[in-house]
């Protein structure tokens, strides 16, 4: 329209022709029921009625005209800030004053159990060691028991201790923290423990062999018999892992009462310091620097996790380890064998005073909370 008008102005020298405006004919007004209300305004166009009642009889209310329904546009949600479903994270919980002796353990995913050395052994007296329970959610710390022994006292697990004694009849005793049951042992040490069973080494002939023992039942089983040295036995459930020296140290697997011995890993270099929990195994390949590997019992080959590792512990499907190169603690969570990695806050040095459970991490006086996917 604007262009058309401008065109008319440009052509203003031409003769102008005036076109008459068209005549508009109004449509006739109809009133079918003859009540004086035009059909266009009559709510009851076929029934005579009162003009004051919109053309309807006074006994009949005019039909209600509903306001058109307004459908709200679909709500567009703001982008969620929730972490992806496979994302684990660790958050700072709090620091505690705990003088931890040796390795602590987390009991029932709720309580940190640890030993505190009140005073060390002398030539005349045993040392004194207090057993503590630190509730991780409230940081309430209390002493629950105490023991006399030397520096070889050790927490075997979250519910068991091995305590050396000076007695000609036996070398030490097993103590169950929960049941408060004691079992004297003619063993200088227990190297690992799980659910009432212990494992240890004895020199048989010219070689060190691996044994297990039903602690309370008292029966022992020889797990290995070959003419090679063995070390570092660890057990969980019905499985025992250990290192065997052939051309170098290899990682082996056997059953709790002996038999079905087979090789788990025999890479170039020494497989040492193994740990096992259920079917998850971790160990160090000592080749120039200590490389940390992990595998599941049905895996064909192990997987490299860290090329220069310090301390490491495992529990459930979790590995906590110190990376010497990055100088920080890492946590690995396995979800159906799929590996998820995350980190603890920086500033924590390498130490043996560490523990991990499903929901908690303890590193040398600091407690962290592990948040699972979807957990706020």
Taking only the tens of pLDDT, the chain with its 376 residues reads 332 322 333 233 333 334 444 444 455 567 776 777 776 666 676 667 777 766 766 644 445 444 444 444 444 333 333 444 456 778 888 888 889 999 999 999 999 999 999 999 998 889 999 999 999 999 999 999 999 988 999 999 999 999 988 777 778 999 999 999 999 998 888 999 999 999 999 999 999 999 999 999 999 999 999 999 999 999 999 999 999 999 999 999 999 999 899 999 999 999 999 999 999 999 999 988 999 999 999 999 999 999 999 999 999 899 999 999 999 999 999 987 788 877 776 667 899 999 999 999 999 999 999 887 777 6
Query: What pTM was estimated for this model as a whole?
Result: 0.74
Buried b (16+ CB within 10 A) or exposed e, 169-193: eebbbbbbbeeeeeeebebeebbbb
Whole-angstrom distance, CA of residue 350 vs CA of residue 328: 8
SS3 assignment, position 8 = helix
DSSP letters along 351-369, please?
A: -S-EEE-SSEEEETTEEEE
Is residue 276 within 8 Å of residue 290, measured between CB atoms? no
How many angstroms separate the CA atoms of 168 and 184, rounded? 12
Cα diameter, the chain: 138
Q: Terminus-to-terminus CA distance in the chain, angstroms?
A: 63
């Amino acid at each position: 329209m604007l262009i058309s008008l401008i065109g008319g102005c440009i052509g203003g020298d031409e003769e102008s022709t005036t076109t008459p405006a068209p005549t508009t004919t109004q449509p006739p007004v109809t009133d079918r029921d003859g009540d004086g209300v035009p059909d266009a305004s009559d709510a009851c166009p076929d029934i005579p009625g009162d003009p004051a009642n919109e053309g309807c009889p006074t006994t009949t209310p005019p039909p209600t005209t509903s306001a058109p329904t307004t459908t709200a546009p679909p709500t567009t949600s703001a982008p969620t800030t929730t972490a992806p479903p496979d994302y684990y994270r660790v958050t700072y919980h709090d620091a505690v004053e705990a003088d931890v002796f040796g390795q602590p353990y987390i009991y029932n995913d709720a309580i940190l159990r640890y030993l505190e050395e009140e005073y060390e052994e002398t030539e005349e007296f045993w040392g004194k060691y207090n057993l503590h329970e630190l509730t991780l959610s409230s940081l309430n710390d209390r002493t629950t028991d105490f023991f006399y022994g030397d520096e070889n006292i050790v927490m075997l697990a979250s519910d068991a201790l091995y305590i050396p004694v000076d007695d000609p009849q036996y070398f030490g005793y097993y103590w169950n923290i929960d049941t408060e049951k004691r079992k004297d042992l003619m063993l200088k040490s227990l190297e690992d423990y799980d659910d009432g069973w212990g494992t240890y080494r004895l020199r048989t002939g010219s070689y060190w062999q691996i044994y297990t023992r039903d602690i309370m039942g008292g029966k022992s089983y020889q797990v290995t018999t070959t003419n090679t040295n063995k070390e570092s036995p660890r057990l969980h459930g019905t499985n025992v892992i250990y290192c065997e020296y052939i051309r170098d140290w290899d990682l082996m697997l056997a059953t709790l009462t002996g038999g079905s011995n087979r090789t788990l890993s025999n890479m170039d270099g020494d497989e040492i310091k193994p740990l096992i929990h259920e079917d998850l195994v971790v160990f160090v390949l000592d080749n120039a620097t200590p490389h940390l590997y992990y595998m599941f019992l049905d895996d064909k080959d192990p997987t490299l996790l860290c090329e220069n590792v310090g301390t490491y512990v495992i529990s459930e499907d979790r590995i906590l380890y110190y990376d010497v190169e990055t100088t920080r603690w890492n946590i690995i969570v396995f979800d159906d064998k799929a590996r998820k990695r995350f980190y603890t806050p920086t500033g924590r040095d390498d130490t043996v005073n560490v523990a991990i459970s499903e929901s908690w991490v303890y590193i040398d006086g600091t407690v962290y909370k592990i948040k699972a996917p979807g957990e706020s």
